Amino acid sequence: MSTELQVSEKKLKKFKRLIWVASVLIPLVVAILFKVEIKGVEIFKGLPAIYASINGLTAILLLAALFAIKRSNMKLHKQLIHFCLGLSLLFLACYVAYHMTNERTEYGNDGAVKYLYYFVLITHVFLSVAVIPLVLNTYLIAWMGDYKRHKKWTRITWPIWFYVAVSGVVVYLMISPFYK
């Protein structure tokens, strides 16, 4: 099974169950927290630029992780992926904090640009939910040392994660002129 880590079937089932629970709970909690309105907290006004930067850094580090593994530098690859996971959690915290303390921003352009914005936004949101179990399962497979399967999963997971990171920056750049 693994050269790096031997995991019992029982433990593996437990990890997979935790991944699915997290994959359901994270979007659910975010959706619930969107309904929470905390007024008068000005400190979080600048968070969109910060979490867009976090998305941009994540995209760059995902590219670096890809190049590291292509050059057989597994240690650097692991470090970069761990950093990307941490950045994703930081992004989520900033995103939720901003949306709990600020009013929703409406996109102000019309025409084809508006359709492009909503296309990018909607695909970004749906794929950001879909990428949670993909990233966690892909990580678990690598953690177990099943690198052949990890490589197969990564062919699906990496482009989606990269798209979510890049499209987060694009969404920010398109909506930022309309922030109050």
The 10 Å CB-count burial string (b at 16+, else e) for 50-87 is bbbbbbbbbbebbebbeebbeeeeeeebbebbebbeeb
The pair phi, psi for residue 45, each rounded to 5°, is -55, -35
pLDDT at residue number 43: 87
- Determine contact, residues 95/51, Cβ cutoff 8 Å: yes
- Determine contact, residues 180/105, Cβ cutoff 8 Å: yes
* pTM for the predicted model, two decimal places: 0.90
The predicted-structure confidence for 50-101, as pLDDT tens digits, reads as follows 999 999 999 999 999 999 999 999 999 999 999 999 999 999 999 999 999 9
